[in-house]
Amino acid sequence: MEEQSPQSYPASSAWRTAASLLIYILIYYALFRNLRSVLLLVIVILVHEAGHFLAMKKFGYRDLKMFFIPFFGAMVSGQSNLATPFQRAIMILAGPLPGIFIGLLMFALTAVFNLDYLRLPALLFMVLNAINLLPVSPLDGGQFLQILYPASNRLLQTIFTMILIIIITWLAFRLRNYLLLILDVFLFYRLTILFGERKVQEYDTVEIPEEIGEQKKAFLLLLWLIALVLPLIALISFRGQNTSYF
C-alpha cells in the first residue's frame, strides 16, 4: 500500500490529547497538592513525546495520536508501512535526546550563573529521559536495542536487566534509599516476560524489513551511550554540590 503524506493533527485527536492532559494534571495535583511540580513533570513528558511526534510526522507516520496516562507517562501512536529501521531508531531517540540536552543546558546555566531554581528542572529532564533510555522494554532504550539487534534482542535484554537489578540493589543499600527497590520489582517482572514464550512475542517479535548498516548502527549506539553517560556525569556533579535533592 502506498504511503500517504503526513497529515495535520486532527481536531478530534487534539481534544482527546487535551482531555487526557487535564485528567493527568488533576490526578497528580490531587495526590501531591503541588501544582508547580506537577506542571514541571508535564512539561518534561510533553517535550519527550513531542520529540517522538515530530520525528514520526517527519518520517510519514499516519493517524498520529498523543495520550497522557496517569502513573505511566504518555505515549504517541501512529501507523507507517515504509519507515526504515534507521528511521525507527531515530524516532525512538528523538524522544529522550531533546530532554537530556535541555537538562544539560539547565545544569550548565546553574553551574555558571548559580541559578538554583533551574536545579530541579535540570534534574527531572536528565533523570526521566536517561531512565527511559535504559535497555529494557518497553522503555525507549529497550525498543532501540530491539531495532538494532532484532536477532539477539531477548538475550541482550535479559543480560542488561540482570545487571540493572544488581546495580539498583547495590545503590539502594549503599544510599540507604530502599524505595529504589521498587524498581527491582518492575525489572523482575520484565524478566518473567522475557522467560515466558507467549509474552516474549508481545515485545520482541517485530518484523524488520532490512538491517541497519554498520556505520549507521555505530552512530546510533554512540548517540545512545552519550545520552546515558552525560546525565550520569552531571548527576555526580550535582551530588558533589550541597543540594537538597539528594
pLDDT digits (tens, 9 = 90+) for 132-179: 998 887 789 888 988 988 877 778 778 888 888 888 888 778 777 777
pLDDT digit string (tens) for 203-215? 444 444 456 888 8
- Nearest CA to 143 out of 224, 48, 211, 57 is that of 224
Residue in 53, 49, 104, 105 with CA at minimum distance from that of residue 228: 104
What are the φ and ψ backbone dihedral angles of 58, each rounded to 5 degrees?
A: -60, -35
Q: Where are the beta strands (DSSP E) in 36-176?
A: 62-69, 73-79
State yes or no: pLDDT of 80 exceeds 50.
yes
Taking 50 as the threshold, does the pLDDT of residue 68 lie above it? yes
Average pLDDT score, the chain: 81
